[in-house]
Amino acid sequence: MEHKARKRFGQNFLHDAGIIQEIVANLQLQSRDHCVEIGPGLGALTFAMLPYLQHLDVIEIDRDLVQVLQDANQANKLTIYSADVLKFDFNQLQAKPLRIVGNLPYNISTPLIFHLFDFIASIQDMHFMLQLEVVERMAAEPDTEHYGRLSVMVQYYCDVIPLLIVPASAFTPAPKVTSAVVRLVPKTAMQIERAHDEKLFSQLVRTAFNQRRKMLRNTLKGLATVEQLEAVGIDPHARAETIRVEQYVKLTNSL
Ligand code: SAM
């Protein structure tokens, strides 16, 4: 059956065999890994991963594609969840830890990554194809152009390792932008001080970056006083984009 790519589901299918192999090589799959692929589509990554695995879970929203995958699932190595990943409860998957993989629909990539943070304790690692610009934002250091809320939140939960850049020509239809594959590895308790209240941490970071060019003493008014900022070594005249992840955590824990 010929499948017409659906824009509303962010469908850009990988067709470049070299890139597909490179992604799979980067995964270093072990046969007993519990891998979960988000948005398998027509199976470009799925069927390249499957020979290395005993089993693979996939989550796909498009019912037509679910049917295509079901028809191709002769050896029953796939468990296909016909679902919206943004509403998917990853706790229902039994064997832990999970290895999450996906050439993500770009329109939902940021909310999806935030959704996955709710299950971070069950995740071994994540490999995602994203817009290059999103990977740059995830990996950005303070005081640089791309540093923002996404950088702080992702770096709080994970080490961010950009792996490869993928040209638009590797997809059908070709997207308008260049893509990149990134590895996210959840941080251990040894690596970073945890926020005692992660909701408050998230609220603080969001508020700080809402007006990223303003002084924190103004943007965080109502959340933190000048004295509280100074007590954790944050200059009240500084702007959100100059503050390191650890400083946001320290501030949260002092409130
Ligand atoms: N993995 C395939 C590939 O690399 O060729 C397809 C990638 S395509 C960029 C994104 C896939 O995610 C599509 O199959 C799309 O239908 C699916 N998708 C989009 N939104 C989704 C959602 N909310 N939940 C689950 N899958 C979704």
Residue-wise pLDDT tens digits, 215-241:
999 999 999 999 999 999 999 999 999
Q: Rounded CA gap, 144 and 133, in Å?
A: 13
Q: What is the pLDDT at residue 171? A: 97
Mutate to test the pocket of ligand 1, among 9, 56, 69 (most ligand atoms within 8 A of CB): 9
The 10s digit of each residue's pLDDT in 155-187 is 999 999 999 999 999 999 999 999 999 999 999
- pLDDT band at residue 189 under the 50/70/90 scheme: confident
Domain 198-254 has CATH 3.30.540.10: no
Check the CA dihedral 183-187-191-193 and report its sign.
positive
Mutate to test the pocket of ligand 1, among 35, 42, 60 (most ligand atoms within 8 A of CB): 60
> What secondary structure letter does DSSP report for 215?
B
Give pTM, 2 decimals: 0.96
20: CA distance to ligand 1 center in Å?
Answer: 15
Beta carbon of 60 within 6 Å of any ligand 1 atom? yes
Q: Helix 198-210 to helix 149-157 angle, to the nearest 10 degrees?
A: 160
Ligand 1 atom 21 nearest Cα: 61
Mean pLDDT of 121-132: 97
Spans of all domains in the chain: 7-186, 198-254
Average pLDDT for the chain = 96
Ligand 1 atom 14 nearest Cα: 41
Q: Rounded CA gap, 161 and 86, in Å?
A: 24
> Top-level CATH class of 7-186?
alpha beta
- pLDDT band at residue 151 under the 50/70/90 scheme: very high
Ligand 1 atom 20 nearest Cα: 9
The 10s digit of each residue's pLDDT in 21-52 is 999 999 999 999 999 999 999 999 999 999 99
| Whether pLDDT at 1 is above 80 | no
Beta carbon of 43 within 6 Å of any ligand 1 atom? no
- pLDDT band at residue 96 under the 50/70/90 scheme: confident
Beta carbon of 186 within 6 Å of any ligand 1 atom? no
Ligand 1 atom 18 nearest Cα: 39
Q: Rounded CA gap, 171 and 15, in Å?
A: 6
